[in-house]
Structure 1
Amino acid sequence: MKQVKMSDVAKKAGVSLSTVSQYMNCRYEYMSGETREKIKSVMEELNYVPNSIARSLATAKTKTIGVVVGNITGYFTSSVVRGVEDYCKKNGFSIIIYNTDHDIELEQKSINILKMLRVDGILIVPSGKNNEMINQESSSGMPIVQMYMEYDDLNISTVISNYRESAYDATEYFINLGHKNIAIITQEYENTRSRYDRILGYKDALINNGLSFNEDLIHIWDVSPDMNLLFEKISKNKNLPTAIFVMHSAITINLLKHFKLKNINIPEDFSIIGFDEIPNADLMKTPITVVKQPTYEIGQKSAELILEKINNKNEVENKKIVIPCQLKIRESCKKYNKIKS
């Protein structure tokens, strides 16, 4: 069967080759709606499939975006990526997704493969371990945007939630319910701006409400599914918490599993707030109050920013877009009116 060419489409549609080319590159402002529909109809009739390799060589663009994430199966990440995909699709771009499984070498390999595939830009949830490499790629001209994880030594554009303000609001909600000993469970945060800002928001709320900041109430989770040792440490603290602010959804889920196993009740024994939405939270025995990040919007804004950088390579400076979160109040917190014995 003879391969259909762009010239065949132009001839049958009664337009110039350049008009079909403009259509293929989504430059619709150069043609009428009638012309667009005519070209689309002829392409479908002839079953024309564009030669993407030839187009990329001619235009130096592949109309593809690389997306590098730790694990797309997570509720949070999958929602962000869906926002990215929908925005890119609407603007004539495709995405290529790489999962790193939080492996440093896989992250490096993913970036290098995406370069070889000639993607026009990269959206990344960085591990923080390859920041020098990412900075070099950005300086070499590759448009890169980091999504919902932020590092001070990464000199690239960022789309992030208002972590500090959101952590402040959640902590103050606890305080207004009468809680004074408020524990935090978080991942290692010292070198990660997006995690450290949550600690700062928590600290700000305590101090501004006349409470002391006690580092003994901050507990580090090491991504282990076993909560026994960590919760034993929390329970033996001389300042036994009445409320727990959990800084990541994976930790919240593991904590809830531990509570169920040990017959610990929410909010009777502990009031709980989690950072990030939990799937089907409303169906739980005790629906959990959460700081809900606008995941889909983060994806949309990230895609919008990377396309802006691609289309105006020499004009767009690095930007930081901060999107507000929502404190979604459910049933996992109660007023604290007495000292625990």
Structure 2
Amino acid sequence: MSICSEIRDLFETFMAKIKLIDVANLAGVSKSTVSQYLNGRFEYMSEKTKERIRLAVDKLSYVPNPIARSLKLDETKTIGVIVRDITGFDTSRTIRGIDDYCKTSNYNVLIYNTDVDPEIEARSLEALYQSRVDGILIAATGENTALINKYIANGLPIVNFQLEHEGNEKSIIISDYRKAAFEATEYLIKQGHRRICFVTQDFTKVKSRKDRYLGYIDALMHYQLPVDQQLIQYWQRDAGFARSPLTVLNESNPPTAFFTQHMPITTELLSALNKAKVTIPDDVSLLGFDDIPMAEFFNVPITVITQNPYQIGREATKLLLNNIKNPGLSPQRIMLPCSLMERLSCKRILPNL
């Protein structure tokens, strides 16, 4: 055989997919013996046999097929994570909590980003299901509940986190939004504010957003303050504010404080107020839901309600892995507390008497 032929044969060997039978043939043993070796079962295997298999594996650069092994073992030691915006401040910290918990539990993580697109979310769910992941964590859009329930019915554990949609989720880890919104509104009321503008996204289908609204209403009613619908303002991710915050401030009976329900709302409001040279907190106070990166370094640090996204990630993963190991567990709805981070953006004023 010529040198060129030998090189060609060697190249073709490396380019071909090396199979278990190839290792067995080279080592002169059966496929089952190689399989036992790869799975660490050496009880009835001689040192010479182990050495032959080891040399055959090294020579062929054989790598076990994880999918084939998962089909046999009925597990992949992998979970899927579906998020709406992987660049989000809280989302990234949640993913870190998920990943840290998985590392200590010998699980791998596959992450899919949907950009709040229900079609991408559906494709992500299907891809993870087809990949035979052991379970899925999802911050859902709320548009694929039927598909999620179908996969759960097929035996795939799925745990929701961050947002709750109409209470249809089976297992979910969320913050106690209603209590947090009550405490934030109460804080502003105790600072002397009587006209508090609640700035939110549409909450008709999203229970987590509605709970924040209900917490705000609860506080107003508790302190016998009227609910003024003019103080309920809306914001959309693509369109921005339905009414300009400056228009709201220029009304005859303007709010003395804004209570924003999402970090992007807070940052867009800050931008609008700064551009118009509206001073916080001298002209208007501001309290936001969710912390802003490096907010403590602002000229006027913003008072916020903080969740614990890292802990949410860890607790969601813990619940999912528990469901994977114990398929008969009942669904759980777990709420974690929020905290008020008091800074300098809320001014104490005298109440209107």
Tell me the TM-score normalised to structure 1 length: 0.84
Instruction: Give the count of matched residue pairs.
Output: 311
* 1:221 to 1:306, Cα distance in 2 relative to 1, 3 A: same
2:72 paired with 1:88: no
Q: 1:53 aligns with which of 55, 63, 67?
A: 67
2:164 paired with 1:150: yes
2:261 paired with 1:255: no
2:243 paired with 1:243: no
More off after superposition, 169-178 vs 48-57: 48-57
Q: 1:101 aligns with which of 91, 102, 115?
A: 115
Counterparts in 2 of 1:69-84, with a 5 A limit? 69-84=83-98
Counterparts in 2 of 1:202-213, with a 5 A limit? 202-213=216-227
Structure 2 match to 1:180? 194
Displacement of 1:60 in angstroms is: 1.1
Q: 2:294 aligns with which of 273, 277, 280?
A: 280
Structure 1 match to 2:132? 118
Displacement of 1:19 in angstroms is: 10
Displacement of 1:142 in angstroms is: 1.3
2:320 paired with 1:306: yes
Q: Secondary structure at the match of 2:244?
A: helix
Equivalent AA in structure 2 for residue 64 of structure 1? T
Q: Secondary structure at the match of 2:164?
A: coil
In 1, are the aligned partners of 2:198 and 2:232 still within 8 Å (CA)? yes
Displacement of 1:230 in angstroms is: 2.8
2:344 paired with 1:331: yes
Q: Secondary structure at the match of 2:224?
A: coil
Q: Secondary structure at the match of 1:221?
A: strand
In 1, are the aligned partners of 2:233 and 2:242 still within 8 Å (CA)? no
Structure 2 match to 1:264? 278
Q: 1:134 aligns with which of 148, 152, 168?
A: 148
Question: Matches of 2:198 and 2:118 in 1, distance apart?
Answer: 27
Displacement of 1:233 in angstroms is: 4.3
In 2, are the aligned partners of 1:219 and 1:230 still within 8 Å (CA)? no
Q: Secondary structure at the match of 1:145?
A: strand
In 2, are the aligned partners of 1:83 and 1:297 still within 8 Å (CA)? yes
* 1:156 to 1:299, Cα distance in 2 relative to 1, 3 A: same
In 1, are the aligned partners of 2:93 and 2:310 still within 8 Å (CA)? yes
Equivalent AA in structure 1 for residue 224 of structure 2? G
Question: Matches of 2:242 and 2:211 in 1, distance apart?
Answer: 27
Question: Matches of 2:151 and 2:251 in 1, distance apart?
Answer: 46
Structure 1 match to 2:237? 223
In 2, are the aligned partners of 1:243 and 1:272 still within 8 Å (CA)? yes
Structure 1 match to 2:173? 159
Q: Secondary structure at the match of 1:190?
A: coil
Equivalent AA in structure 1 for residue 130 of structure 2? M
In 2, are the aligned partners of 1:185 and 1:245 still within 8 Å (CA)? yes
In 1, are the aligned partners of 2:78 and 2:135 still within 8 Å (CA)? yes
In 1, are the aligned partners of 2:263 and 2:290 still within 8 Å (CA)? yes
In 1, are the aligned partners of 2:194 and 2:351 still within 8 Å (CA)? no
Question: Matches of 2:79 and 2:247 in 1, distance apart?
Answer: 45
Identity %: 40
Structure 1 match to 2:6? none
More off after superposition, 212-221 vs 106-115: 212-221
Question: Matches of 2:243 and 2:222 in 1, distance apart?
Answer: 32
Gaps in structure 2 of 5+ consecutive residues: 1-12, 25-34, 42-53
More off after superposition, 286-295 vs 138-147: 138-147
Question: Matches of 1:173 and 1:101 in 2, distance apart?
Answer: 34
In 1, are the aligned partners of 2:138 and 2:158 still within 8 Å (CA)? yes
Displacement of 1:229 in angstroms is: 3.9
Q: Secondary structure at the match of 1:318?
A: coil
Gaps in structure 1 of 5+ consecutive residues: 8-16, 24-41
Equivalent AA in structure 2 for residue 113 of structure 1? A
Displacement of 1:228 in angstroms is: 8.6
Structure 2 match to 1:28? none
Equivalent AA in structure 2 for residue 264 of structure 1? V
Q: 2:331 aligns with which of 318, 332, 338?
A: 318
* 1:337 to 1:106, Cα distance in 2 relative to 1, 3 A: same
Q: Please give the per-residue CA displacement for 1:195-227, whole angstroms capped at 9, x wherever unaligned.
A: 100011111111111212222211110114655
In 2, are the aligned partners of 1:227 and 1:258 still within 8 Å (CA)? no
Displacement of 1:337 in angstroms is: 2.0
Q: Secondary structure at the match of 1:102?
A: coil
Equivalent AA in structure 1 for residue 315 of structure 2? K
Q: Secondary structure at the match of 1:272?
A: strand
